[in-house]
Chain A
Amino acid sequence: MTAPMIELRQISKRFVWRLDLASRLANLLGAGIRERAVHAVNHVDLGIAEGEVVGLVGESGCGKSTLGRIVAGIMDASEGEIRFRGKALSAMTEEEHRDYKLAVQMIFQDPYASLNPRMRVEDIIGEAPVAHGLIRRSEMGEYVEKLMQQVGLDPRYRRRYPHQFSGGQRQRIGVARALAVQPRFIVCDEAVAALDVSIQAQVLNLFMDLREQLGLTYLFISHNLAVVEHISDRVVIMYLGRVVESAPTEELFAAPNHPYTKALLAEAPKLVAERRDYTPIKGEIPSPLDPPTGCHFHPRCPFAMARCKTEAPPLREIAPGRMSACHLNEMATV
């Protein structure tokens, strides 16, 4: 296997509720109030090869968006190391770090919130490449028109404001803005979740076209399994901050290994007109503030054993290219 373009090693992100003055004073008097921490991302290893599309799937609160933001450099990890083209971020010079941040761009979920309503489209798209010296200001108009054409927007609209566009068109503006700094890697955080089905299809097609034309690498974050199945080469499933399974797309959908993945696949609505007798998995997603001990999935897992309550299963290779974190896999081999 070639060296991955981006590699995450034991990445963790904790959000800590710092104690305020009153609590600290109360503690002096012996109140015993402790800081509370959310382990949004918990020791995640992930490598993404050049040109690969990795789908990151999970439900609310599983840490998938946090992980995406860490990869895109919007957020710093609490622990662990990110390597870009073999070089650790911490060892990079300022210039290399800037190059990394330009090479990795992000597209957000909400096309209404992610565009500045007071800026014209040409400034939204053209500002960054001018600021970073990729083009001269005098070339901006032409550059923006080219990008707008590439993402399927009419270049005549470049003097308009975001509110004059529909949701699907706004998402295209977001794509053009990301492409403007000539990135190699794009993090899409639920980039099609807010769109109607027919518009979603247009934007997904655009992503696939751009991949072909520009050789882009994607980290595609979504809760929608059908979207991820369609666009990804490899799928990574997260649950409460941990990766529970990772496999090539076909294999994962043909034969899911982890009980959580199985439940997700069974319950994802499919376009088949047949009465499925749902046997939904029980329970709610636990609070990440107070995750269950051992395997995070054990309170909802139909196969949970005594061991699952105390010991978190490590992510192990179960077949070439396939990883899963479940104690059941060890039982099978013993």
Chain B
Amino acid sequence: MTIPTLQVEDLETHFPTRDGIVRAVDGVSFDVAEGEILGLVGESGSGKSITGFSILGLIDPPGRIAGGRVLFKGEDITSASPERMRSLRGSRIAMIFQDPMMTLNPVLRVDTQMIETVQAHEKVSEAAARARAVETLKAVGIAAPEERLLAYPHQLSGGMRQRIAIATALLHSPDLIIADEPTTALDVTIQGQILYEMRKLCRDTGTALIWITHDLSVVAGLADRIMVMYAGKIVETGPVATVIERPQHPYTRGLIGSVPGVLPRGKRLFQIPGMTPAPLNLPPGCRFKTRCSRADTLCDTLPELVELHPNHSVRCHHPHDARPLTPTESAA
């Protein structure tokens, strides 16, 4: 059996604050295989982005990885030296952020930034680095890449900037890309183009991809597997079709029911009552219990993530049946 590109084992990321420790990621384990696309779904404060940052070792102090391991192709990178991490980041593991201006330096031309990225990890001539940049820009669907290389980021549209950020991430054909809501700020037609290109790239190159998003409908057509996070824990994970069509955790069902476009027009959308609990004030036991219609005394103890069907795991004492979600049911 081949080793998965990424194995995350019982990851815990903590942020000490004056009022106590925020357990942003609390015991998260998952694997991503070569060429696999994992959709990591959650709402604000669920810990989905912190999971992504933790893998790359980008947690700012005083935040820290308090427990667990991250294995990249079998190598433990939570204990790796800063030098080792720096050689991995940008070359073997790349990250794409929501805002491309976080990646791009506004006062440098695109070519300066892309050539620097190539030469940071490989001893190649400037001409070779430039040729690689042109090639990668073409691969993400940029027309006239030679001209675009001479532009400054502010001269480009948002979609074009995000494509350049993606191309920069692809320069060293990484084994793993972590994409944190990269299309949220983009228009529908531009988002469609980028999703299409990302999927093609993963299929062609065998790159593993973690796509972090709050929007289930974006990953529905993109991912192989979906993982839903709530208040720092995985609550449901499984193949995309199973999670979308036969969700078993009440939170996942609620999320899907609240997406407009599933129910007939004008019907009241399903409302998950209440709000995400404050990270310092999590209810004991199941963290979803205060908002859940199925909660009872059993839910005062934290449920385990149980594999109910092959590859489909749910963290719930009272999971729903594996029946398809019907419109009337989700509206109830």
Contact = CB atoms under 8 A, between A and B. Distances in A.
Interface of A: 59-60, 166-168, 196-202, 204-205, 208, 223-227, 229-231, 249-250, 263-264, 266-276, 278, 280-282, 284-285
Nearest to B197: A280
A205 B258 CA distance: 10
Interface string B6-20: 000000000000000
A197 B216 contact: yes
A208 B268 contact: yes
B216 A271 contact: yes
Nearest to B216: A271
B189 A272 contact: no
B187 A285 contact: yes
Q: How large is the interface on B (under 10, 10 to 19, 20 to 34, 35 or more residues)?
A: 35 or more
Interface string B206-234: 00000000111110110000000000000
Contacts, number: 135
22 contacts: A59-B187, A60-B158, A196-B44, A197-B255, A197-B259, A199-B275, A200-B258, A201-B260, A202-B271, A205-B268, A205-B271, A208-B266, A208-B268, A226-B259, A229-B265, A230-B261, A230-B265, A230-B267, A269-B191, A271-B259, A273-B221, A285-B157
Given A196-B214, A197-B215, A276-B221, A271 B43 contact: no
B217 A269 contact: yes
Nearest to B261: A226
Interface string B263-284: 1011111111001100000000
Interface of B: 43-44, 157-160, 187-193, 195-196, 214-218, 220-221, 240-241, 243-245, 254-263, 265-272, 275-276
Given A226-B260, A263-B189, A270 B271 contact: no
A226 B158 CA distance: 23
B265 A225 contact: no
B311 to A, nearest CB: 14
B196 to A, nearest CB: 4
B151 to A, nearest CB: 13
Given A278-B196, A284-B160, A198 B187 contact: no
Contacts of A204: 260, 269
